[in-house]
Structure 1
């Protein structure tokens, strides 16, 4: 027995590897082996005789595992399409191939059926393969199910809280919640014009304002405007009571009645009109008036606030009145009966209180034709 130290000296790597043909150790150069010379006379053809029946029977019994490892050749002589994988049945090897194994590729199902992923079998005899649209239906997709015709369940009409609390108390709380989340009531009184007009010996006054009460959709609106001189009665004045209905976020439709007061003939009118905010922030109003005597009037007015600074605002304003016929007792001519232009500069001491100074020009047509310019001193206020 060779001692272990001597063995280590003989084998520096500490390994007992027998040299195999064609292998070289690190650091070693092997000369190529020369083929042995064989005399020409010694070379003979080798005749391969067919295997006996018993041997052929052995070849037929070659299993798939041995064929995959290259130990033998199957009876059909075809190599295994997936070498190195044992236990894979050959084509047509098992007529009882299950759908699960067929889906994983372990075997092939019966020709008349094709397994789909998930254990589903597809019958080619009952389904036309050409009718399948592979562009719209992926492999493994479920066939489209028919839509049901059952009616939807009815919407609930009661409140769940009614089952546990007094329904009257729940209804009151529901109204309060709606009011606090968009159903609240507001009000405002605004006088856009409240001024003194200084003319040559005919100083007078003028007002134009409105007040409203309601919510975002429905409101009650009261409008009033008029004018007069200091040494005489009120020349002309009117009051309107209107119902206002929002028709979109910027416009309201209004309808109601108008009553004229003052020293001129008094009339009662039915009113239909609109008011709202036009592009470029123009406040616009328009209305038609039909009197109790069949007289038709119309009015349109507009103004815009041009903010010069945070407190100084310039407001141009225009108002035009029309009449469909002459009205003698009110000194109104058919067509354009009155035209007003104004330019006012106000300073907002507070948002609700702003004194202003400006110029007002007016022209009347008809029996009471006339007009002219005036210096306007007033206050714009709201609360």
Structure 2
């Protein structure tokens, strides 16, 4: 009798292997032309095309084409320094979709019991240039310090490698003054609720602007640490410390006005969004 042990023990016995003669019946060149000869949307052959067009548009809006809104107060804080206590805010709001958004940004600061020292508002069109960064363009208006000024704005904002959040912008004022600002921050989670955030901000100017107390070059540096606790995802109080340093003529202007060009401040504030 013939020996069939080898065949019965082989799990691939009777199976056609790629490249074998019995593999010739398997299609090798994709779908046949007939598969592409029907309507673009097969459901149109069953339901009214107008009804299906409305359904597809609703799906597009809900699954990628929808517009959303976010309002966030990234910094609302008291700054405690020797002989000079103040407050600061940084707020953002946007409306739009994945590609295009309208951004409104505002920030300012002042002394407790004193006048508002600085305040600005920006209105920007934001366009995604890749999955990580947006190009932004628009206008900025300074309410303080006087004199009030308007600026054209060009910048980028997004998430750099290793999850550093970056916001860099150049400003050209209606007086022809060119300045720039670069901000970077990083959220380091210690626990699911406790987060340490290093933050750096650098200011630059292409020329002296004596009426605003700004000198040419690197005008100032703010480097700090904020430790926040997310009571809920939308609300997190924080404490921190920050080193604030001005350079060159900017520091000279500040000292001439009786200010401190090099100081450490303690911070207490809150971050929230809705």
TM-score w.r.t. structure 1 length? 0.57
Quote the residue 1:3 is aligned against.
none
Tell me, yes or no, if the aligned pair for 1:233 and 1:262 is still in contact at 8 Å.
no
1:280 aligned counterpart, secondary structure: helix
Note closer, same or farther for the CA distance 1:311–1:328 as it changes in structure 2 (3 Å cut): same
- Cα deviation for residue 368 of structure 1 reads 1.6
Separation in structure 2 between the aligned mates of residue 154 and residue 340 of structure 1, nearest angstrom: 64
Quote the residue 1:161 is aligned against.
44
Note closer, same or farther for the CA distance 1:157–1:260 as it changes in structure 2 (3 Å cut): farther
Residues 70-96 of structure 1, C-alpha deviations (whole Å, 9 max, x = no match): xxxxxxxxxxxxxxxxxxxxxxxxxxx
Tell me, yes or no, if the aligned pair for 1:235 and 1:264 is still in contact at 8 Å.
no
Structure with the bigger percentage of strand: 2
Equivalent positions of 1:170-249 (< 5 A) are 170-249=52-131
Residues 51-77 of structure 1, C-alpha deviations (whole Å, 9 max, x = no match): xxxxxxxxxxxxxxxxxxxxxxxxxxx
Structure 1: tracts of 5 or more residues without a match: 1-152
Separation in structure 2 between the aligned mates of residue 160 and residue 306 of structure 1, nearest angstrom: 49
Tell me, yes or no, if the aligned pair for 1:162 and 1:170 is still in contact at 8 Å.
no
1:184 aligned counterpart, secondary structure: coil
Structure 2: tracts of 5 or more residues without a match: 1-35, 256-260
- Cα deviation for residue 233 of structure 1 reads 1.6
Q: Is structure 2 residue 252 aligned with structure 1 residue 360?
A: no
- Which has the higher Rg, Structure 1 or Structure 2? 1
Separation in structure 1 between the aligned mates of residue 45 and residue 204 of structure 2, nearest angstrom: 58
Higher relative contact order (CA 8 A, sep 6+): 2
Separation in structure 1 between the aligned mates of residue 143 and residue 60 of structure 2, nearest angstrom: 41
Tell me, yes or no, if the aligned pair for 2:43 and 2:52 is still in contact at 8 Å.
no
Note closer, same or farther for the CA distance 1:166–1:297 as it changes in structure 2 (3 Å cut): same
Q: Is structure 2 residue 261 aligned with structure 1 residue 375?
A: no
TM-score w.r.t. structure 2 length? 0.78
Tell me, yes or no, if the aligned pair for 2:145 and 2:212 is still in contact at 8 Å.
no
Q: Which of 246, 249, 268 pairs up with 2:150?
A: 268
Residues 89-136 of structure 1, C-alpha deviations (whole Å, 9 max, x = no match): xxxxxxxxxxxxxxxxxxxxxxxxxxxxxxxxxxxxxxxxxxxxxxxx
Q: Which of 198, 207, 210 pairs up with 1:325?
A: 207
Separation in structure 1 between the aligned mates of residue 201 and residue 159 of structure 2, nearest angstrom: 16
1:161 aligned counterpart, secondary structure: helix
Number of residue pairs aligned between Structure 1 and Structure 2: 232
- Cα deviation for residue 236 of structure 1 reads 0.7
Quote the residue 2:185 is aligned against.
303
**RMSD, matched Cα:** 2.4
